[in-house]
Amino acid sequence: MTARGLSLFDTAIGRCAVVWGERGITGVHLPEASEARLRARLRRTDPGVPESIPPPAVQDAVDRMVALLDGGADDLADVVLDLDGVSPFERDVYALARAIPPGETSTYGKVAARLGDVGAARAVGGALGRNPCPIIVPCHRVVAAGGRMGGFSAPGGADTKRRMLVIEGAAAAGPPTLFDA
């Protein structure tokens, strides 16, 4: 990888951004209501990071995220992330989320159980809410018990989560609603 940089890119759910450093992708940002709001968020979360052309490994990840959000079945599991600054618990949660294939879902409780603590479902939700790399770490594939959407801290909330699951063909998304584009 090269020095830190960021780049915006268009997907089926809107304009997203990717941020990288020397050891991998450090952030993925889902669409905001406008590009100006997305850029404002980037200035807050990644101050001073210049907008630039992604290096080949990052561009490959961008192309694969775009394809996934166009209905492709790529799990993005081999995309290199730099998760410095996240706790060991969060790393474990993100690893389990990355193991959920496109078109499938798990629940907060099942992820907690796989971590060895059935009572940690709320903590799993909190970790996923702090996910710095949505899409690559597919937090949208973790739903509440009974297939309910549960929370989603990204712009658009549960509607964005449902839309991403619908694109992937996940049964937990339920039938499309009037709000699904």
Report the catalytic residues: 139
The closest alpha carbon to 159, from 134, 179, 131, belongs to 179
Q: Strand 106-107 and strand 24-29: pairing?
A: unpaired
Question: 141-153: string of b/e by CB count within 10 Å (b at 16+)?
Answer: bbbbeeeebbbbb
Ordered DSSP codes for 30-42 = ---SSHHHHHHHH
Query: d(Cα 103, Cα 80) in Å, to the nearest integer?
Result: 22
Q: How far apart are the first and last CA of the chain?
A: 35
DSSP E strands in the chain: the ranges are: 5-11, 14-21, 24-29, 106-107, 142-143
**Token output for 169:** 């063909």
